[in-house]
């Protein structure tokens, strides 16, 4: 493990998971409220705020996505896990957040293209980001579907050109989403956008080879985010590493 990885819990005083305004813990509501976003100042539906009442909407939390799309458009990387971790290292990507719902399909689209998949890359990449934005933050707990699983479904939908009216293609993204959810439930909760993102990508890689005939290489580096995540599953997570448990 690198020195940077060993000290990663100290590199961000907020540890990347609390309020991005003040750093205090988030409190989730039982019922949705209408609150003013502290960044764009628009009134929007909210399912959480921090202890001091700060609320940041999903759009502002995502940071617009320009840095993510710029990185992916220029990348020749074929491993979607490597791409995912490169994107997660961007300063606009938080430890948890709805941006991951777009990141998962975007890295899959990029790797699929770089591995020879025949798609209109730029158009599909933008579409993946746009569709992912429709999946709200907290979907795992409040809607019963993890946004990373739905993001993998977005990837399969775009590649297969599925729509609500297609017959054969209709089931393709549904099956991948179901595969992702099964894999996630086997590991368990609570939330971890890095864990569920990687599980969704691994499922999508296997599915892509079977259904689309495109093989993508996939690595499994140990997680460098666990010391930042107070909800980390530690040894229950397949990606966990620490000096206590080792390799």
Indicate whether 98 belongs to any domain: yes
Indicate whether 24 belongs to any domain: no
3-state secondary structure of 32: strand
H or E element at residue 158:
helix 147-160
Residue 16: the pLDDT is 52
Domain that holds residue 206: 63-236
Indicate whether 42 belongs to any domain: no
Indicate whether 170 belongs to any domain: yes
> Is residue 104 a contact partner of residue 132, using CB atoms and an 8 Å limit?
yes
Counted domains in the chain: 1
Indicate whether 37 belongs to any domain: no
% of the chain with per-residue pLDDT over 90: 64
Residue 73: the pLDDT is 94
> Is residue 180 a contact partner of residue 146, using CB atoms and an 8 Å limit?
yes
Name residues of the chain where pLDDT drops below 70.
Answer: 1-17, 61-64, 242-247
Indicate whether 192 belongs to any domain: yes
Indicate whether 51 belongs to any domain: no
Indicate whether 20 belongs to any domain: no
């Amino acid at each position: 493990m690198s020195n940077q990885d060993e000290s990663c819990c100290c590199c961000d005083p907020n540890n990347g998971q609390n309020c991005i305004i003040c750093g205090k813990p988030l409190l989730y509501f039982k019922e949705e409220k209408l609150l003013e976003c502290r960044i764009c100042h628009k009134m929007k539906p909210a399912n959480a705020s921090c202890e001091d009442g700060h609320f940041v909407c999903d759009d502002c939390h995502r940071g617009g996505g320009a840095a993510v799309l710029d990185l992916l458009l220029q990348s020749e990387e074929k491993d979607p896990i490597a791409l995912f971790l490169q994107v997660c290292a961007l300063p606009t990507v938080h430890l948890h957040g709805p941006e991951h719902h777009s990141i998962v399909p975007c890295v899959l689209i990029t790797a699929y293209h770089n591995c020879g998949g025949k798609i209109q890359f730029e158009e599909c990449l933008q579409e993946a980001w746009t569709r992912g934005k429709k999946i709200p933050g907290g979907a795992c707990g409040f809607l019963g579907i993890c946004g990373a699983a739905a993001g993998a479904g977005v990837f399969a939908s775009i590649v297969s050109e599925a729509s609500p009216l297609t017959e054969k293609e209709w089931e393709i993204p549904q099956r991948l989403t179901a595969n992702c959810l099964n894999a996630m439930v086997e590991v368990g909760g609570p939330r971890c956008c890095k864990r569920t993102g990687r599980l969704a990508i691994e499922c999508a890689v296997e599915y892509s080879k079977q259904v689309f005939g495109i093989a993508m290489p996939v690595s499994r580096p140990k997680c460098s985010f666990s010391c930042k995540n107070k909800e980390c599953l530690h040894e229950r997570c397949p990606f966990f590493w620490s000096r206590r448990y080792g390799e």
